[in-house]
Structure 1
């Protein structure tokens, strides 16, 4: 699918030494970041673009912002859901999903919320979403525990539909709505009534909210517990792959350090050599510079074989 292009950017000596280590490895971690999704053409969180350039994405991604103006916050996340659904899982997502099926002792830790790994049919028991998912929703009422997973409905409620009336200059044209980078900053955002936002079907009182970790919130306890248990069960870890992330921020940086402490070699796949784990690279580690969508299927090929087009679970939903 992308292997011919990848061969031109992966040095043969590095490829052979990495694959020899991969083939003999039994306990493997992968740590994923936004660079993996960029290979699918997906804007980053802070680069949502267009009509959102006049808003500070960090300011919108807080419980306080949702409490003040849930309509505005839901419009931002509905836009991000829409953009993520326009993107498709790339060959790296499918290669990692296949590696999870081939290697019993393989675990993926993802910092991405875009749903692309689940849509590539990555085995859920081997995929830990550190920051949640745009396509999970949960009740915002404190005492209600209602959650929904893999909700790919777009828009999630009619009021959150991206306006596409081309005759109205204050709305986004149908063509612009399909683009991954909406450039018009002058589109008016409607003020939405609370009654038109997603409502919890269980308690009937609370609003549903995106199932992502907002600034000021704890990472999901169950996810962290699962990772800690996996790490504790491993007397030795053979390999950690750091893909599309600098892994300089905790807990991501901590997982690299913990894997190293158990003997792991580190393989970094990134577009920029400056984006290196905080601990750097040791002798015997690997750095593969370039597009993850090309490189990851190539370096994993000795285990996963040739990666072919596969069904997109969001399309099937």
Structure 2
């Protein structure tokens, strides 16, 4: 893996030095991450999915009821999202957190993202808690079947879900302009897909597979939430919580900031919008790093992780 070139400083020196002094001595560290972590990877947001999906309400497709009524339509939406996520690549922020997890035993990342970019940056699994699941996990929709598969990067997952037209690289200027000008893919009609051509459960052979994400109206993953609770409730203090690319104003995310503070943590915010801070605000001694996480994280974590190395991701290696 080749090391990236040294970056010019994007953080005021006084803030950088005080943060790194605290980071270096911290034993238990928590990162709470949201969509802003993946901003530099060029992914459209959930509600901003491009092309023909502009005519659909994304939130209406992300429910168990929608899947029950029209699994073909729901799967086409998620196949598009999987396709776009696979065309994107983990950015230096993903690699920086993955390396911090390897260097600091008491570090965990709570991710609200489903884009699969943190696993593809080889973030250690035991310290990555996916609160909302992953586009690349699939599970059986049958109530009596417990089949679950992680890190399925097959694109398309079945031939019937092939994308009708191949979008350009989502990180390029032309792709961004296409989304901005509202000209991508909209003339392409969605095909009707027969139930038999959708992903089938290989275990029970009666249920359809579904994306392993948390839909509206569903509980957050029990095992993941129990692991987070166990980590948070340990008797040892928490030294630092980094809130990255998320406002953390909605629960349970907001609650983690409050819990970490109650256990002694200082808070570091990394966000594009300096006003987008947790509901509890900033306390004296906290840090606010305004800007792109892909630029800021490698710099502020450098005293522990060294230079960020960006290499082949897990999906590319498996293709």
Match of 2:7 among 4, 7, 30: 4
Q: CA deviation at 1:3?
A: 4.8
Change (3 A) 1:4 1:41: same
Where do 1:197-276 residues align within 5 Å? 197-276=198-277
Alignment match, 1:40? 41
Alignment match, 1:78? 79
Q: CA deviation at 1:184?
A: 3.0
Q: CA deviation at 1:233?
A: 1.3
Alignment match, 2:104? 103
Structure 1, unaligned runs of 5 or more: 164-171
Q: CA deviation at 1:185?
A: 1.7
Between the aligned partners of 2:54 and 2:64, the Cα distance in structure 1 is 21
* Equivalent pair of 1:2/1:294 in contact (CA under 8 Å): no
Q: CA deviation at 1:155?
A: 0.2
Q: TM-score, normalised by structure 2?
A: 0.93
Q: CA deviation at 1:235?
A: 2.6
Where do 1:53-92 residues align within 5 Å? 53-92=54-93
* Equivalent pair of 2:240/2:268 in contact (CA under 8 Å): yes
* Equivalent pair of 2:90/2:120 in contact (CA under 8 Å): yes
Q: Give the SS at the match of 2:41.
A: coil
Which whole-Å deviations, capped at 9, do the CAs of 1:217-236 have from their partners, x for residues lacking one? 00001001000000111430
Give aligned pairs, total: 305
Question: RMSD of the alignment, in Å?
Answer: 1.2
List structure 1 segments (4+ residues) > 2 angstroms apart after TM superposition.
Answer: 176-182
Q: TM-score, normalised by structure 1?
A: 0.94
Between the aligned partners of 2:70 and 2:97, the Cα distance in structure 1 is 38
Q: Give the SS at the match of 1:4.
A: coil
Where do 1:83-162 residues align within 5 Å? 83-162=84-163
Between the aligned partners of 2:253 and 2:157, the Cα distance in structure 1 is 31
Between the aligned partners of 2:216 and 2:40, the Cα distance in structure 1 is 25
* Equivalent pair of 2:114/2:132 in contact (CA under 8 Å): yes
* Equivalent pair of 2:88/2:169 in contact (CA under 8 Å): no
Where do 1:176-191 residues align within 5 Å? 176=167, 178-179=169-170, 181=179, 183-191=184-192
* Equivalent pair of 1:60/1:73 in contact (CA under 8 Å): yes
Between the aligned partners of 1:77 and 1:292, the Cα distance in structure 2 is 26
